Amino acid sequence: MEQIEAIDPELAKSIREFRAKEAAGLIQFPKRTHRECQTWKEAWLYSFRRGWLSEDHHIKSEGEKITCVVWVGVEFRDKIVDSLERIAGRIGVNNDLEEMRLIGTSITPQRIEKLGRILPKAAIKLFSREEAKKDRRIQYVNTDVGWVKKLYAELDGRKG
């Protein structure tokens, strides 16, 4: 760290801040396999990494509880549901999730039934890509964010 400090003090400062956030648990890295997941938060981060989705835009949390997830795209396949089922077998079903939106996924009806058992309190809602294009807000967990409002205004031809 001393060498970095001598070369680039700003970089050293950023590294120290990052390490402090990581130590405080403010930054979590996704697990690399479903076997490593010990909490449902880790499970969602793991599965979303596999689908190239953004935690900030597609996962709503309250502390360690994940209350809403939005999965956009065909990367949400039966294999991911099977991984979630294996995780549930180890850590129990997810009683914190209240809502799951699946948009243009390639999941089969049998796996949707499995999701219902894994996520017993969640309202699982299915949307087509066309429906999501008509109402873009369903693609995000938090539509009150300024950039999302600006995006909608631009898409509607209005000034944000």
Lowest mean pLDDT across 10-14, 25-29, 41-45: 25-29
Q: Identify the sign of the CA torsion 82, 83, 86, 92.
A: negative
In DSSP terms, which residues pair with 103 in a beta bridge?
Answer: 72, 127
**What is the tens place of the pLDDT at every residue in 30-78?**
656 778 888 898 888 888 876 667 777 788 888 889 999 999 888 888 9
Domain layout of the chain by residue ranges? 1-30, 31-155
The CB density around residue 30, as the number of other CB atoms within 10 Å, is: 16
Mean pLDDT taken over the chain = 83
Predicted confidence at residue 35, as pLDDT, reads: 80
Contact 98, 122 (CB under 8 A): yes
Tell me the range of 17-26, 30-39, 54-63, 99-108 where mean pLDDT is highest.
99-108
Q: Which residue has the tokens 């390639």?
A: 106
